[in-house]
């Protein structure tokens, strides 16, 4: 008996909501809010997931020599010192660095690779797929361009050859050998792969010196211990594990979303003011309505329930609509305009694919960041409406 009464109030609220003009107005505001917050969350979660996929690529431990807070080049003797630590899978001294390209004001990642050595990354292996390695060993002026750089060089007509400046001011010529396709852009958008010797010249690295050392480990549970052992043997190094990198990425994106939410808070409180204002202004017909309810025997609590059901219906629909629109916007249209807020400004920055992510945690976050505020703003106006005196209305 009681359930049918509740249900009837609910159904009645449904018809009332569809009838009212204000409900459409509030629906619109709420949808926009839900859309904004869910678009931002979808973008960050998707980028985070992408980073999570790419971070599988990273070596387990990177060893950097640090003196006085500045990174130094690592001598080859360091490799010998850690060679006999048990559990190590491979140790690769790497030659790489950044090259500032004046013309477009961007940084390239210069990666020196000996095509005859095993690669330390799967994406590098892929870059060398379908290439005649024998040809590469003959010369030293070849280079393999990442997708973003290939596009840039195409624009400035560096098609058959490109010149890079060495630290001593002289220029060194490279011939593009291969361009990586767009699919690999998530890993190597801004990368220039050249031979190890050429990279030494370009980065001003002497023989026997390396940028850093990449270490892989057999048992992933041992990473932290092995990193500690390495620090124990090589006194002046810093070890960076895979997890450290992932954490710092996550913190950056949390920071960006946090910034967004702080702005979003202003919107939220504006919405509250608008909703309170809209709901408190009762027009004559609504007043009569409540008067009629009360005369036919509705209690204050019944009317309160009716009002809260109405707001629930509006917010539920707005919630669903907002999330759906945001999904289309982010995952189908790849979030134009919005994505720039989260991905930085450099033209050679990573191209994000925006992988589809959807889980309960995201839903929960969006729900918690909009619905309580809406319900809070509905509370006091509903109470005022519900306690309106019957005789005052009909007077």
Partner 1 sequence: MKFISPEQIVIYFINFVFIFFLVVALKISYLMIKKFDFSKSTSFQYSLEKRNVLVSTIVSFFIFLKVPLLFYFLFYLDSLAPSIPGAMCAVGVLNSTPYGAYLIIVKVAVLFMLVWWFYINKFDLNTYGFKYTKLKYKFLILISFAIFLEFLLEINLFNNISPEKIVSCCGSVFGKDVKYFSSFLFNLNDNLSLLITVVTFLLLAIFFKTKNYVFYGLASLIFLIVAVYSLIDFFSTYIYELPTHRCPFCILQKDYGYIGYVIYFLLLTGTFYGSSLLVLKNILDNTTKISWARNSFFMIFCYLLIVGFYVVKYYMVNGVWLT
Q: Residues interacting with partner 1, by CB under 8 A? A: 243, 246-247, 250-251, 254, 257-258, 260-262, 265, 268, 300-301, 304, 361, 364-365, 367-369, 372-373, 375-376, 379-380, 382-383, 386-387
Using the minimum distance from each CB to partner 1, give the nearer residue, 150 or 303: 303
CA distance 209 to 311: 68
Smallest distance from partner 1 to CB 217, Å: 19
Helix (H) or strand (E) holding 100: strand 88-101
Distance (Å, whole) CA 114 – CA 94 = 10
Q: Which is nearer to partner 1, 84 or 392 (CB)?
A: 392
Instruction: Produce one character per residue of 207-229: b if its CB has 16 or more CB atoms within 10 Å, e if not.
Output: eebbbbbbbbbeeeebbeebbeb
Neighbours of 340 (CB within 10 A): 11
Both tokens assigned to 230: 């390495």
Of the pair 116, 273, the CB lying nearest partner 1 is at 273
* Closest distance of CB 121 from partner 1, Å: 23
CB of 108 to partner 1, least distance (A): 31
Query: What's the gap between Cα 286 and its chain centre?
Result: 47
Query: 120 and 214 in contact (C-beta within 8 Å)?
Result: yes
Per the listing, tokens 């979660």 go with 45
| Phi-psi group of 87: left, alpha or beta (phi > 0 → left; psi -120 to 50 → alpha; rest → beta) | left
**Which one, 355 or 375, has the nearer CB to partner 1?**
375
**For partner 1, the closer CB: 104 or 375:** 375
Closest CA to 142 of 164, 157, 161: 161
CB of 109 to partner 1, least distance (A): 26
Q: Which is nearer to partner 1, 122 or 361 (CB)?
A: 361
CB 23, min distance to partner 1, A: 20
Q: How far is the CB of 391 from partner 1 (least distance, A)?
A: 12
């Amino acid at each position: 008996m009681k359930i049918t009464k509740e249900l009837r109030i609910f159904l009645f609220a449904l018809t009332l909501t569809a009838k009212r003009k204000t409900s459409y107005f509030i629906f619109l505001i709420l949808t926009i809010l839900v859309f904004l917050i869910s678009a931002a969350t979808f973008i960050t979660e998707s980028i985070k997931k992408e980073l999570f996929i790419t971070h599988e690529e990273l070596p387990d431990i990177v060893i950097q020599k640090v003196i006085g807070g500045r990174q130094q080049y690592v001598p080859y003797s360091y490799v010998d010192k850690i060679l006999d630590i048990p559990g190590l899978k491979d140790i690769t001294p790497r030659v790489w660095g950044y090259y500032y390209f004046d013309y477009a004001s961007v940084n390239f990642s210069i990666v020196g690779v000996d095509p005859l050595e095993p690669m330390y990354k799967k994406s590098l292996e892929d870059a060398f797929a379908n290439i005649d390695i024998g040809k590469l060993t003959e010369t030293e002026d070849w280079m393999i361009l990442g997708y973003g750089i290939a596009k840039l060089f195409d624009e400035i007509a560096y098609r058959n050859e490109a010149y890079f400046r060495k630290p001593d001011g002289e220029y060194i010529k490279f011939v593009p050998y291969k361009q990586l396709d767009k699919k690999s852009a998530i890993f190597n958008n801004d990368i220039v792969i050249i031979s190890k010797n050429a990279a030494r010249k370009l980065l001003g690295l002497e023989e026997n010196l390396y940028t850093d050392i990449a270490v892989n480990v057999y048992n992933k549970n041992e990473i932290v211990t092995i990193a500690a052992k390495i620090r124990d043997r090589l006194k002046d190094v810093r070890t960076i594990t895979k997890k450290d990198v992932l954490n710092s990425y996550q913190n950056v994106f949390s920071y960006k979303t946090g910034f967004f939410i702080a702005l979003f808070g202003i919107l939220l409180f504006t919405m509250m003011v608008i909703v309170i204002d809209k709901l408190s202004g009762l027009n004559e017909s609504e007043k009569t309505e409540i008067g009629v309810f009360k005369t036919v025997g509705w209690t204050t609590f019944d009317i309160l329930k009716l009002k809260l059901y109405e707001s629930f219906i509006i917010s539920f629909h707005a919630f669903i609509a907002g999330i759906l629109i945001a999904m289309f916007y982010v995952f189908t249209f790849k979030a134009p305009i919005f994505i720039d807020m989260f991905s930085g400004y450099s033209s050679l920055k990573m191209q994000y694919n925006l992988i589809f992510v959807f889980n309960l945690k995201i839903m929960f976050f969006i729900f918690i960041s909009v619905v309580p505020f809406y319900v809070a703003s509905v509370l006091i106006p509903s109470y005022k409406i519900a306690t309106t005196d019957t005789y005052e209305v009909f007077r």
